A and B are shown apart, each in its own frame.
Chain A
Amino acid sequence: MVFLFLLAGLSHVLVNFKRTQMGYTLSQLKKEILQIEEYDRKLKLEIAFLKSPEHLEDRAVKVFGLRQPLPEEIVFLP
């Protein structure tokens, strides 16, 4: 009987210990998720700035030497 009580007590301590460990891991993961989500938003913002028409036009003209096509240069595909 005493042995059974002892076993139950030890199991309870072990479960609580594991639960605490899991709690730490979980909270760390949640923190990481929030950080990654924020990082994702910052990257999206950077992409949006880089893809803004003003920036694209500037790069297209100055870096690649592109220009507006003349009407006869435009081909409409059926």
Chain B
Amino acid sequence: MRIREKKWIRIRIYLTGIFFLIILCIIFLRAYQLQILEGSKLSSLAKEGYTGKLILTSQRGTIFDRDGRELALSIEVCSIYGYPKRIEDKRRTATLIARALNIDKRDVLKKLNSSRSFVWIKRKITPEELIKVRELNLAGIDFTKENRRYYPCMETCAHVIGFASQDNRGLEGIELKYNSYLEGQDIRLNRIHDALGRPLLFHGSRIEKRDPFNLVLTLDKGISYKAQKALREAVERSGAKSGVCIVIRPQTGEILAMAVVPEFNPNVFWHFKPYEWRNRVVTDCFEPGSTLKTFLLAAALEEGVITPETVFNCEKGEHSIGNFIIHDSRPFGMLKVSEIIKFSSNIGAIKIGQRLGPGRLHYYLQKFGFGERTGIDLPGERKGTLRSTKDTSLIGENTLCFGQGISVSPLQLAMAFGAIANGGHLMRPFLVKSILDQSGKAIREFYPLVRRDIISSETARKVKGILEGVARKGGTAPKAAIMGYVVAGKTGTAQKVDREKKTYSNKKFVAIFGGFAPSDSPAIVILVALDEPEGTPYGGIVAAPVFSDVGYWTLNYLNVVPSFTPAIARNEIAGRQNLSYSIGKEEEIEYLDPDLPGSIPNLKGLGVRDVLGKARALGFKVVIKGSGRAVDQTPAPGIPFKKGGLLTVTFKPPG
């Protein structure tokens, strides 16, 4: 019995041992499974339970003007999105959201009915909209934070700065050109949170970020605003299709203002059409018209083929080249070079061009930067057209002297005027002064760059002296005068090409005025161009007042001391009562191109019937003296006429 009992006890011990051994084996196997086989998977599962990533959306760098005033900056705003599959009553949800956000209910419903698992309802909403939607407490609707770009100056500088997309990528202007600097990266914060989801930031957390850079521009917010406002008013007054106004520092090539009309508000750029976004200062080219005479004059003086006192015969307003007849605004006789520029004689310009020679003219126009890009830091710049002398006909060589057969961008023209103003150096225009990091330290700075020297300072001085006559009484642009300062500049009224008729249009023009002030030590260069003004199209009437208005304001703003006292200035600009002019008033410009509308045509050589027909069409009365062909007329051709005015024409029998 005792032996049997002992045996049984031993068996029980063995059984217990085996049982524990099996349990131990199971534990070991389970441990092996958890730690070795599924270890990495389970540890990552556990980590997900107590760690997370906090993603802060990327900021975009701020754009400042030259005085550190914000032109573009980003702030955080909320966006609303939805999970369509989690929304039960989609119609009700759409109605409530549409009412709160003041958007179309059908659009919201269409989004909620889509098969996608995630849809944006409205991005970058206002704080008021956020409160309204949050109060609705709708299932399947949530919010996230994004950065929105704001442009506090709205239309001012809009074409230069451009704009960024909803996803914070630059799409136009400086925003596009310097996108790599302005764009920041998303900030990721690795965090640990507790069972309730409260974040715990430990020393182990890591921040990965690359701050965006800020830009400091050469633009001045005040001058840009003035230029934009004056240009907008001029475009409205004249009924022009578009207009540009550029203000630059001639010594450095810094752009102080670049105004374009039609304008757009970059805060809501999607409400405007792409042609309104276009920066016409660099993308649009036109024939410079008589403004080109400035550079012809500079070239001829530099080459020593003329002096300001050289006299040319302007052939009483008619000059034949092959089968073509070139007209002048009035029948000029012998004119000095300075008078050719002052009265803008086309025939005089041709005579200067013939003495200079087409090859040398072409060489100098190239040196002034025509036909090549200026190198400005903006996207989409065009280089215009300057045909080689080989490809130019005889008439083309001659008409080039008064700005036909060449196309230039407003910026090229402004920089060329800048070269006259600064003593003969062609500068590279630039818009960005420096790139700063978030601590304000400059990581890159931009300095003025002389592209080339074109003419001597002595020649530039002579050209300035001649250009001063243009803005004086008797010149083509007394309206360009700036009270207290001596202005040097040149008008241009360029005929546009009629693409259907393949000739120059008599109805479409570009009115231009380019110049600088004060003439003896120029502080600013301003170029104004208005495309297709209605009615009177002359640069001296339409564009020159913008020059004067912007110039007066800017010179005061820059604290440029006037050259002479206001009392003298008032005598200098006789009859001028205020700084703004209205188009259509009796002008001080006496002689205009007789081929242009608004001026009395050249009636010489016409019969009585033709003269009466023209007079009826233009709406003035005619006094007929004699018979035969018209030999004389009063007033002379080119004078702006008023409807109902009186015109006396003297006729003589032929032979």
- Within 8 Å of chain A (Cβ to Cβ): is B624? no
Task: Specify which chain B residues have a CB less than 8 angstroms from the CB of A51 in the assembled complex.
Answer: 69, 152
Contact A71–B200 (Cβ < 8 Å):
no
Contact A44–B76 (Cβ < 8 Å):
no
Smallest Cβ distance from A64 to chain B, in angstroms? 18
- Within 8 Å of chain A (Cβ to Cβ): is B225? yes
Selected contact of B76 from candidates A19, A26, A38, A57, CB within 8 Å: A38
Task: Specify which chain A residues have a CB less than 8 angstroms from the CB of B69 in the assembled complex.
Answer: 48, 51
In this complex, what residue of A is CB-closest to B72? A48
Bound CA span A30–B56, Å: 13
How many A-B pairs have beta carbons closer than 8 Å: the answer is 73
Contact A71–B202 (Cβ < 8 Å):
no
Task: Specify which chain B residues have a CB less than 8 angstroms from the CB of A19 in the assembled complex.
Answer: 202
Contact B222–A68 (Cβ < 8 Å):
no
Task: Specify which chain A residues have a CB less than 8 angstroms from the CB of B156 in the assembled complex.
Answer: 52-54
Q: A45-B75, A68-B579 are in contact. Are A53 and B200 (CB under 8 A)?
A: no
Task: Specify which chain B residues have a CB less than 8 angstroms from the CB of A45 in the assembled complex.
Answer: 70, 73, 75, 150, 152
Mask, A29-40, CB within 8 Å of B = 1, is 011001000100
- Within 8 Å of chain A (Cβ to Cβ): is B159? no
Task: Specify which chain B residues have a CB less than 8 angstroms from the CB of A31 in the assembled complex.
Answer: 199
Contact A27–B225 (Cβ < 8 Å):
no
Contact B225–A38 (Cβ < 8 Å):
no
In this complex, what residue of B is CB-closest to A78? B561
- Within 8 Å of chain A (Cβ to Cβ): is B115? no
Task: Specify which chain A residues have a CB less than 8 angstroms from the CB of B484 in the assembled complex.
Answer: 71
- Within 8 Å of chain A (Cβ to Cβ): is B646? no
Q: A27-B201, A30-B201 are in contact. Are A71 and B73 (CB under 8 A)?
A: no
Task: Specify which chain B residues have a CB less than 8 angstroms from the CB of A76 in the assembled complex.
Answer: 559, 561-562
Bound CA span A71–B559, Å: 12
Contact A53–B569 (Cβ < 8 Å):
no
Selected contact of B75 from candidates A26, A30, A41, A52, CB within 8 Å: A41
- Within 8 Å of chain A (Cβ to Cβ): is B154? yes
Task: Specify which chain A residues have a CB less than 8 angstroms from the CB of B483 in the assembled complex.
Answer: 71
Interface residues of B in 211-251 (CB under 8 A from A): 221-222, 225-226
Selected contact of A24 from candidates B73, B75, B200, CB within 8 Å: B200
Q: A54-B156, A70-B566 are in contact. Are A20 and B150 (CB under 8 A)?
A: no
- Within 8 Å of chain A (Cβ to Cβ): is B2? no
Interface residues of B in 153-179 (CB under 8 A from A): 153-154, 156
Task: Specify which chain B residues have a CB less than 8 angstroms from the CB of A69 in the assembled complex.
Answer: 556
- Within 8 Å of chain B (Cβ to Cβ): is A59? no
Task: Specify which chain B residues have a CB less than 8 angstroms from the CB of A24 in the assembled complex.
Answer: 198, 200
Smallest Cβ distance from B354 to chain A, in angstroms? 44
Task: Specify which chain B residues have a CB less than 8 angstroms from the CB of A53 in the assembled complex.
Answer: 153, 156, 221-222, 225-226
Q: A27-B191, A71-B484 are in contact. Are A41 and B74 (CB under 8 A)?
A: yes
- Residues of B in contact (CB 8 Å), total 34
Interface centre among A23, A26, A49, A70 (most CB of B within 10 A): A23
Contact A71–B562 (Cβ < 8 Å):
yes
User: Interface SS of chain B: helix, strand, loop or mixed?
Assistant: mixed
- Within 8 Å of chain B (Cβ to Cβ): is A42? yes
Q: A42-B75, A71-B484 are in contact. Are A48 and B152 (CB under 8 A)?
A: yes
Mask, B170-198, CB within 8 Å of A = 1, is 00000000000000000000011000001
- Residues of A in contact (CB 8 Å), total 28
In this complex, what residue of B is CB-closest to A26? B201
In this complex, what residue of B is CB-closest to A34? B56
Q: A41-B74, A76-B561 are in contact. Are A54 and B225 (CB under 8 A)?
A: yes
Smallest Cβ distance from A46 to chain B, in angstroms? 9
Smallest Cβ distance from A39 to chain B, in angstroms? 10
Interface residues of B in 558-575 (CB under 8 A from A): 559, 561-562, 566-567, 569
Contact A72–B198 (Cβ < 8 Å):
no
Smallest Cβ distance from A37 to chain B, in angstroms? 9
Bound CA span A41–B74, Å: 8
- Within 8 Å of chain B (Cβ to Cβ): is A74? yes
In this complex, what residue of A is CB-closest to B482? A71
In this complex, what residue of B is CB-closest to A42? B75
Interface centre among A20, A27, A42, A72 (most CB of B within 10 A): A27
Interface residues of B in 108-166 (CB under 8 A from A): 150, 152-154, 156
In this complex, what residue of A is CB-closest to B553? A68
Contact B202–A23 (Cβ < 8 Å):
yes
Task: Specify which chain B residues have a CB less than 8 angstroms from the CB of A68 in the assembled complex.
Answer: 553, 579
Task: Specify which chain B residues have a CB less than 8 angstroms from the CB of A34 in the assembled complex.
Answer: 56
Smallest Cβ distance from B485 to chain A, in angstroms? 10
Contact A74–B556 (Cβ < 8 Å):
yes
Contact B152–A49 (Cβ < 8 Å):
yes
Bound CA span A43–B73, Å: 11
Bound CA span A51–B567, Å: 35
Task: Specify which chain A residues have a CB less than 8 angstroms from the CB of B76 in the assembled complex.
Answer: 38, 41
Bound CA span A24–B150, Å: 35
Bound CA span A61–B563, Å: 29
In this complex, what residue of B is CB-closest to A46? B152
Smallest Cβ distance from A67 to chain B, in angstroms? 11
Bound CA span A76–B564, Å: 13
Task: Specify which chain B residues have a CB less than 8 angstroms from the CB of A54 in the assembled complex.
Answer: 153-154, 156, 225
Bound CA span A51–B198, Å: 41
Task: Specify which chain A residues have a CB less than 8 angstroms from the CB of B569 in the assembled complex.
Answer: 71
Contact B199–A27 (Cβ < 8 Å):
yes
Smallest Cβ distance from B428 to chain A, in angstroms? 28
Contact B200–A27 (Cβ < 8 Å):
yes
Bound CA span A72–B226, Å: 21
Name 8 extra pairs, CB < 8 A, besides A49-B152, A71-B569. A19-B202, A41-B73, A45-B73, A45-B152, A52-B156, A53-B222, A57-B225, A76-B559
Task: Tell me the B residues contacting A by CB distance below 8 Å.
Answer: 56, 69-70, 73-76, 150, 152-154, 156, 191-192, 198-202, 221-222, 225-226, 483-484, 553, 556, 559, 561-562, 566-567, 569, 579
User: What are 22 sample pairs from A and B whose C-beta atoms fall under 8 A apart?
Assistant: A20-B200, A23-B201, A24-B198, A27-B201, A34-B56, A41-B75, A45-B75, A45-B150, A48-B69, A48-B152, A48-B153, A51-B69, A52-B153, A52-B154, A52-B225, A53-B153, A53-B222, A53-B226, A72-B566, A72-B567, A76-B561, A76-B562
